[in-house]
Amino acid sequence: MEKQSDFFTDILYLFSVVSIESAQDILAFLVPIVLAWFIYRKIKKNRDECSQRILQNSRQAGLGEPPVSLHPIIDHNLCLGCATCVGACPEGKVLGVIHEKVHLVDPSHCIGHGVCKTVCPTGAISLVIGNEKCGVDIPLLNSNFETNVPGLFVAGELGGMGLIRNAIEQGRQAMESICQTIKNSPSSAPYDVVIIGAGPAGFSATLGAHQHNLNYVTLEQETLGGTVAHFPRGKIVMTAPVLLPIIGQIKFNETTKEILLDFWRGVEKQTGVKLNYMERMESIKKTNDGFMVTSLKGTYHTKSVLLAIGRRGTPRKLGVPGEEQNKVVYRLADPVEFRHQHVLVVGGGNSALEAAITIADEPGTTVTLSYRSTAFAKANPKNVDKVNIAARNNKMTVLLKSTVKEITEKQVIINTEDGEQTIENDAIIICAGGILPTPMLKAVGVDIETRHGTL
C-alpha cells in the first residue's frame, strides 16, 4: 500500500505545480495508464484468488499431494510468474499463479505431459517422479534409456513413464539407441534384441526394430496393448499426437482404448511385425556374449534386451482367508460378465474406480467399492466425481476406511469404521496394484533408486 500511496502523492504534487492547460494534457495521458493499471491489478487479484481456491479445494478433498508419476516442481527463485506454463497445460488448471509465483494447485489432474517444462522461459520447472510421502522405485537409466548393465534397456511404465504418448516415444528412442549399441557389439548372438512387452513402449520399439531390419523377437505374456488392453471399455486414452516408427505421426488427440487398439492391430497387419503372444518371459541372464532370455516356450541368445513391461508385475493380493476362490480376480476384463451379480471392488486408484463405475452401469448389478483410506487421493478427479454421482444415485455403495476381513462362497466380511459388515457377494475385483519386478532386475544387476520427488 505504501508504494501505491507514494504513486498517488506524486501525481497530486505534479498537478499542483503545473498550469491548468498542462494539467489537462497530463491528465489525458495518465488516465488510460491508471485505468490499465487498475484493470491489471484486478485481473491479478482474481487470478490469485482463483488459484488459491483451487488449491484449498484440492487439499480439503485429500488431493493436494503431487502424484507419484511424472509431474512438475517449480523453482520459485527462477519463476517469473508469467503464467505461460499455466496456459500451456492441456489438462486445465493444474498450475496456478499465487503471489507472483506458479504453484501446483490441482496435482491430481497432472498426468505428466511435460509441456509446462518445455514452455517455461526461465527453466524454473523440472519434471520429477515420486513425492515426499511416497517414493517410487525406478531403474537407474542414462539418457539413452540404458541401465547400468550394458545392453539392457528400459522404456515405458517401468521407467516411470505411464502416459501412453511418452511410453511410445521412449520405445522409439530406446530402439534408436539399441541400433547404435549393437553396431559396435562384439557379440555373436543370433538375435540383435529381445523386446519384452507389447504395450505402447514395446510395440513402438518393435516397429523400430522392424524398420531397421534387426533380428528381433518380441515376447508378450498376453495380448497387444499390454496394460492398455485391460483398460475399462470406452476409456479415453491418448491426449496428444505422437511419432510411431514406420507409420509416422499419429494424430489422435482423444480416443477410446478400442479405437486405439484397432489402429495398432491394423498397423501390426500392415507392417508385418513379429509379436510372440502368450509367451511370458521367465528370466534374463547376463553372459559374456550378451544375454540369455528364457520364456516358457524357449531361450533366446541376444545382443541386447529392452524391458518394456508395466510396473504392476504380479498382482498384489490382500492375504485374507478365502482369497483363493475363483470368484476373486485382479483386473476387469469385461463388465458384461458381472451382470445381475453382487460385486465388490477393492482399491482406490483409477483402475478400481473405473471398474466400479463400468460395472455399476450393467443391468442388475449391486456394486460396493471398498478403500482403506479416507479419500481417493490417487485417482483422477473425473473418476472420483463419477463415483460420487453413482453413490448419490444409489448405483454404488462406497466404503472408505474399510478393509476386507474374509471372503466366503456367497458373502464377504468387511471391517469398517462402524464395525464388521457382511454383504452378499458373487464376485470380487481386487485393484491393489502389483509387486514390482524389482527382484528380477536386481538379479540381473540393475541398480534401483527410490525417487521421492527427485529428478
Q: What is the model's pLDDT at position 1?
A: 45
Residue 392 lies in a domain: yes
Say yes or no to pLDDT of 149 above 70: yes
Find the Cα–Cα–Cα–Cα dihedral 134, 138, 142, 146, rounded to 10°.
-170
Same domain, 94 and 171: no
User: What DSSP state is assigned to residue 50?
Assistant: H
Cell numbers standing for residue 326: 475363483
Domain boundary among 128, 157, 191: 128
- Residue pair 440/116 in contact (Cβ under 8 Å)? The answer is no
Number of folded domains in the chain? 3
User: What is the DSSP annotation of 123-179?
Assistant: --EEEEBS-SSS-EEEE---TTSB-SSTTEEE-SGGGT--SHHHHHHHHHHHHHHHH
- Residue pair 112/66 in contact (Cβ under 8 Å)? The answer is no
CA distance 342 to 262: 32
Same domain, 282 and 388: no
Residue 12 lies in a domain: no
CA distance 414 to 65: 28
Say yes or no to pLDDT of 252 above 80: no
CA-wise closest residue to 309 among 450, 139, 141, 156: 156
At CA 305, angle to CA 304 and CA 308, rounded to 5?
A: 150
Residue 52 lies in a domain: yes
Q: Beta 216-220 vs 276-277: how paired, if at all? A: parallel
Say yes or no to pLDDT of 382 above 70: yes
Residue 7 lies in a domain: no
Other Cβ atoms within 10 Å of 402 Cβ, number: 20
Domain boundary among 128, 161, 186: 128
Q: What is the model's pLDDT at position 162?
A: 61
* CATH number of residue 411's parent domain: 3.50.50.60
Burial class (CB in 10 A: 0-12, 13-18, 19+), 109: buried
pTM: 0.68
At 2, the pLDDT band (50, 70, 90 cuts) reads: very low
Residue 239 lies in a domain: yes
Residue 1 lies in a domain: no
| Owner of C-alpha cell 444415485 | 393
CA-wise closest residue to 152 among 351, 383, 309: 309
* CATH number of residue 48's parent domain: 3.30.70.20
At CA 285, angle to CA 283 and CA 288, rounded to 5?
A: 165
| Tens digits of residue pLDDT in 266-282 | 999 999 999 999 998 99
Most distant pair of Cα atoms in the chain: their distance: 98
Say yes or no to pLDDT of 248 above 60: yes
At 347, the pLDDT band (50, 70, 90 cuts) reads: very high
Cell numbers standing for residue 220: 508378450
At 290, the pLDDT band (50, 70, 90 cuts) reads: very high
Same domain, 169 and 308: yes
Residue 286 lies in a domain: yes
Same domain, 143 and 275: yes
Q: What is the model's pLDDT at position 442?
A: 86
Residue 199 lies in a domain: yes
CA distance 435 to 422: 29
Same domain, 61 and 202: no
Same domain, 336 and 280: no
Domain boundary among 94, 128, 162: 128
Same domain, 142 and 108: no
Range of the domain at 274: 136-313+436-451
Same domain, 355 and 297: no
Same domain, 50 and 99: yes
| Tens digits of residue pLDDT in 67-91 | 666 788 899 999 999 999 998 887 7
Same domain, 362 and 305: no
- Residue pair 140/448 in contact (Cβ under 8 Å)? The answer is yes
Spatial neighbors of 382 by CB under 8 A, at least 6 apart, are: none
Same domain, 261 and 289: yes
Count of residues for the chain? 455
Mean pLDDT of 173-182: 94
Say yes or no to pLDDT of 29 above 60: yes
Cell numbers standing for residue 450: 527410490
CA distance 337 to 359: 9
| Tens digits of residue pLDDT in 31-66 | 777 788 788 778 888 888 888 888 888 777 666 676
Find the Cα–Cα–Cα–Cα dihedral 148, 153, 155, 160, rounded to 10°.
-20
- Residue pair 401/372 in contact (Cβ under 8 Å)? The answer is yes
CA distance 368 to 180: 52
Same domain, 443 and 407: no
